[in-house]
Structure 1
């Protein structure tokens, strides 16, 4: 079986590219990565600079283009915006959102979180400093990963990666979910992206949705649930091709 994209045929083997969100790096995907690799899935990890949306889209596309066949992009949190834009690449055949943003044309992460902006009481994200955002270290474990190992959550709070305002405010030109099949995992105990917002975005995108009780860091705390949805996405893409 072959998958045809933009007039080019590729082997049916699909690479899964895991894209991290804000304040963290690609190492958070280790649990999901190990499960997928054990099951024989080709996996790549994107390391985004999280300085601007344009830079992160470019970094993601570099990993896509390094693969020899079709790619499914998996994005957590802010990376949902990244894969929504980068997913328009002809080599991308599907999208998986893990407690992630799925903006429409002209939207950004900032516009989708207009009721919980950085620096407000509803947000654990501190006001910008020199164009970058950080989370309150004391509030990080409860806000980001309440169901994670506490020691690991504290380490992540202390090792967090600055998030550029240009990434937060980067607008989508054309959402790839309008032309690619998508899957969405709603984390029902999420304190960073309200579950109703996740449900709104996933419904609008026409995604295949699963709901799992877990924190925003569900990709770390429940890697099996996340990997299961990713594998369903791979099978869904393969099953849609004759």
Structure 2
């Protein structure tokens, strides 16, 4: 159940599609753009144009550049959504585009300019997932397939978690030690969804980042992947942010 979520009114939901911003979704590590498959239909049926970025996870600067190209290609106003590592990506990628009206962090990293994910993680006790990460010989990181359900997606069905484990996309370890060069949240209104039962990012770190960036914050009783386990609530949260941002712009 979503706690303290800002839900759009029926009047706002029935606005013409022309008044709605494009929505760009940015995935985190160990996943690709299809991780948003439960969210995309919900947003599209409500009249939003949705694009999910396919990042390589080979370096933070490369993923920022890829995401920036997608954002810049949108027509009109844009709302940018980042999950986990994708939060760091959007923090930089959205910074120079005046058409971006809102940033939405879904259990996402929200670094300061010059700050690394590894530095943020060091602020609080390491989450359980840290014990389940395994490297390959090239320096790319995976989640131990036998532990993904328990430490990453405990409220997802076992069958779907097995698919997530089999299809996970590895991330270059260097990405966690690369800093963003700018912080879009300093000039763009932000929303943050804290996942209370997160075992991949310490929920206290999420609350710290949400407070630091001045985000409108809601919390959900969820694992690290609420867009899989609670897609309706996450879609409503994104839409509420989009509606509020457009009214304020």
TM normalised by structure 1 equals: 0.90
**Is 2:71 the counterpart of 1:47?**
no
Measured in 2, the distance between the counterparts of 1:161 and 1:46 equals: 14
Structure 1 residues 51 and 239, CA gap change in structure 2 (3 angstroms): same
Alignment partner of 1:186 is 2:186: no
1:199 aligns with 2:196: no
- 1:126 aligns with one of 107, 129, 134: 134
Counterpart check, 1:155 vs 2:167 = no
Given the superposition, is the C-alpha separation of residues 228 and 193 from structure 1 closer, same or farther in structure 2, using an over 3 Å criterion?
same
Q: CA deviation at 1:164?
A: 0.9
Superposition deviation, residue 128 in structure 1: 5.8
Aligned partners of 2:30 and 2:237: how far apart in 1? Answer: 24
User: What is residue 111 of structure 1 aligned with on the other side?
Assistant: 119
Alpha-carbon distance, 1:123 to partner: 3.0
Moved more, 177-186 or 90-99: 90-99
SS of match in other structure, 1:40: coil
Does residue 80 of the first structure (1) align with residue 87 of the second (2)? yes
Task: Give structure 1 stretches of 5+ with no counterpart.
Answer: 1-10
Given that 1:187 and 1:211 are in contact with CA atoms closer than 8 Å, whether structure 2 keeps it comes out as yes
Distance 2:45 2:158 in 1: 27
Does the 8 Å CA contact 1:97/1:182 hold for their aligned counterparts? yes
Q: Is the 8 A contact 2:113 2:179 kept in 1?
A: yes
Which of 125, 138, 142 is residue 150 of structure 2 equivalent to? 142
Structure 2: gaps of 5 or more residues:
1-17
Asked which structure has the greater RCO (Cα within 8 Å, sep 6+), the reply is 2
Whether the aligned pair in 2 keeps the contact of 1:184 and 1:210 (CA below 8 Å) is yes
Does the 8 A contact of 2:129 with 2:200 survive in 1? Answer: no
CA distance in 2, matches of 1:128, 1:111: 23
Are 2:228 and 1:230 aligned?
no
- Taking the aligned partners of 2:193 and 2:126, their CA distance within structure 1 comes to 23
1:219 to 227, 236, 239: 227
Where do 1:61-76 residues align within 5 Å?
A: 61-76=68-83
Q: Aligned in 2, Cα 1:163/1:121: closer, same or farther, shift over 3 Å?
A: closer
With the length of structure 2 as denominator, give the TM-score of the two structures. 0.87
Per-residue displacement from partner, 1:196-225 (whole Å, max 9, x unpaired)?
A: 010000000100000000000111111111
Structure 1 residues 231, 201: CA separation in 2 closer, same or farther (over 3 Å shift)? same
In structure 1, C-alpha distance between the alignment counterparts of 2:137 and 2:185, rounded to whole Å: 33
Counterpart of 2:10 in structure 1 is none
- Shift of residue 122 of structure 1? 4.5
CA distance in 2, matches of 1:47, 1:62: 11
Distance 2:72 2:185 in 1: 19
